[in-house]
Structure 1
């Protein structure tokens, strides 16, 4: 269900998409939307896939989709794998193991199906779709020039925060004008619906994304823009250029409301970090 919409007369340059459930909205999602409206350019739209929660914030820039009504493929995936331990945080190589997000495809599939649905909806009406994790706080005015600079262009299908291992996917830019963007969306979905995700070393969204884009680059189907560093480890989001404008509250940082000084690999001068 579409609760509000923001359609300017001309083609949108950027659309941001995120998703959360009721607990997530109360803990961090509401703050994400509020700081987006305060600091992002006024012509950038925000699309929210809300699961079992009413978003009380009303603004023409914010479009809210009913998660359950608009993501039927996600519901199919959940039904298929809800009882599979290897899709719910259980290391398939261990009979008894503590929960590990690396094998929680169910938990992170929300993000995957929201992205693929948004790609299809935004295709033809926007140039770039930006995935932004809902536990992100914008703390400084984000200039249009930076968003344009970070955007994938030409043969670049996507722009993401690369590092030594799989990417940090708290921010991912998608080039909606790329000839292979719809193919990417289909492959991302089918990696889950087909069960192929169970064949991978890990099956959370960042790892599956990485495997797909690596294959596409190897086969010369697309190029990609790297926003991180192949030498980087850890909390790369706040140590990239994005950290000057946003804070990604990964894990228990959500409760703290801010990332830690120890997360920074170098001193930052922005007021947020002082």
Structure 2
């Protein structure tokens, strides 16, 4: 039986490369099965490629024309760069200062990288944040087991009872499924026509947009796989709290340095809500 094609995609800028991206690329080349290829679309940096056969590195200016058009159009517009419109500021005085929630230009780097990688992929395209570290050897068989062929998408939610956006550090898109193709079509539409798309939402960072489309589609097409489905995270009921990725099965291979953990270089012991047996987690 032929192996299904798995492509992974990520992106980072110069500061990100120096802080975490270089380490991510090296860990991917060292620990991820050579049958799994990585696309890396970079922003104003020229990384060292630890394995050019496995990792394809391209500058976004050359590879992502739709992203460049989006950024050129919206880079000078406050509402697309972290300053929400007045009605949102009035309605949400407690969090309207949190620029990331309305920084469409910043997070467009991520979504347009996904769109391009999907065009180049056959079976599965997997997004993985570059502030991740692959700490343990990861075989093709282990990886494909995380991507059930009867699911149109896989993702990391926030656990049982959560009413907030997913944790989009890792998600898998089943390109053989027509529902997944419809999801991607709508995901791209809301960025290509943002005045009739992302700017109609309550927030417009990529995880919120991803979650909004996902939740609408799950109602009709529930064949999805949430890696956090059996998890309970007390701090993730209404916001971006908790650290679900490392507490899911993905933590067998991935550490995710979300937020200030980037400066430490690893997640914190207190982030774990379950006992992990991997040597890496016993050494942090």
Matches within 5 A, 1:125-204: 126-154=122-150, 156-163=151-158, 164=162, 165-195=164-194, 196-204=197-205
TM-score norm. by structure 2 comes to: 0.85
In 2: Cα distance, 1:57 partner to 1:28 partner: 14
Which residue pairs with 2:29 in the alignment? 37
Please tell me the root mean square deviation across aligned C-alpha atoms, in Å. 1.9
In 2: Cα distance, 1:88 partner to 1:131 partner: 23
Equivalent position SS for 2:275: coil
Q: Which deviates the most, 182-191 or 20-29?
A: 182-191
- TM-superposed CA distance for 1:71, in Å, is 1.0
Distance 1:270 1:176, change over 3 A: same
Which residue pairs with 2:239 in the alignment? none
Equivalent position SS for 1:168: coil
Which residue pairs with 1:24 in the alignment? 16
Which residue pairs with 2:228 in the alignment? 228
Equivalent position SS for 1:131: strand
- TM-superposed CA distance for 1:68, in Å, is 0.9
Contact 2:26 2:50 in 1 (8 A): no
Contact 1:119 1:182 in 2 (8 A): no
In 2: Cα distance, 1:238 partner to 1:13 partner: 25
Equivalent position SS for 1:167: coil
Which residue pairs with 1:261 in the alignment? 269
- TM-superposed CA distance for 1:15, in Å, is 1.0
- TM-superposed CA distance for 1:267, in Å, is 2.8
Equivalent position SS for 1:118: helix
Gaps spanning 5+ residues in structure 2: where?
Answer: 237-241
In 1: Cα distance, 2:183 partner to 2:168 partner: 16
- TM-superposed CA distance for 1:244, in Å, is 2.0
Contact 2:9 2:114 in 1 (8 A): yes
As a proportion of its length, which structure holds more strand? 1
Which residue pairs with 1:218 in the alignment? 219
Distance 1:84 1:223, change over 3 A: farther
Which residue pairs with 1:50 in the alignment? 42
Equivalent position SS for 1:250: coil
Deviation readout 1:26-72 (Å, 9 max, x if unpaired): 11111111001111112111111112211222521111122111111
Contact 1:152 1:173 in 2 (8 A): no
Corresponding residue pairs, total: 260
